[in-house]
């Protein structure tokens, strides 16, 4: 079994983004989407998770 991504639905989008970036030293794959979600990756371009804003 292979996990492609972990999706996290959150109420405090900016705090959750800052937490995961600091905790794992991951970076944004692309600039934050205006649709309320981002994708984080490690420095080897492996995807880690998608953080989605609770709309």
pTM above 0.75, yes or no: no
Q: What's the domain range around 19?
A: 6-53
Q: What is the pLDDT of residue 10?
A: 75
pLDDT, tens digit (0-9, with 9 covering 90-100), for 21-34? 888 888 887 766 65
Q: Which two tokens stand for residue 27?
A: 């970076």
Q: Is the pLDDT of residue 4 over 80?
A: no
Whole-angstrom distance, CA of residue 3 vs CA of residue 55: 25
Residue 40 has pLDDT above 70, yes or no: yes
Residue 1 counted as domain residue: no
Name the residue among 43, 21, 42, 25 with its Cα closest to residue 51.
Answer: 21
| Other Cβ atoms within 10 Å of 39 Cβ, number | 17
Q: How many domains does the chain have?
A: 1
The pLDDT, as a whole number, for residue 41 is: 83
Please report whether residue 24 resides in a domain.
yes
Residue 15 pLDDT greater than 70, yes or no: yes
CATH number at residue 29: 3.30.720
């Amino acid at each position: 079994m292979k996990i492609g991504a972990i999706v996290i639905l959150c109420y405090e989008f900016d705090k959750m983004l800052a937490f995961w970036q600091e905790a794992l030293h991951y970076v944004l794959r692309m600039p934050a989407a205006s649709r309320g979600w981002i994708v984080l990756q490690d420095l080897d371009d492996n995807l880690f998770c998608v953080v989605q804003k609770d709309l």
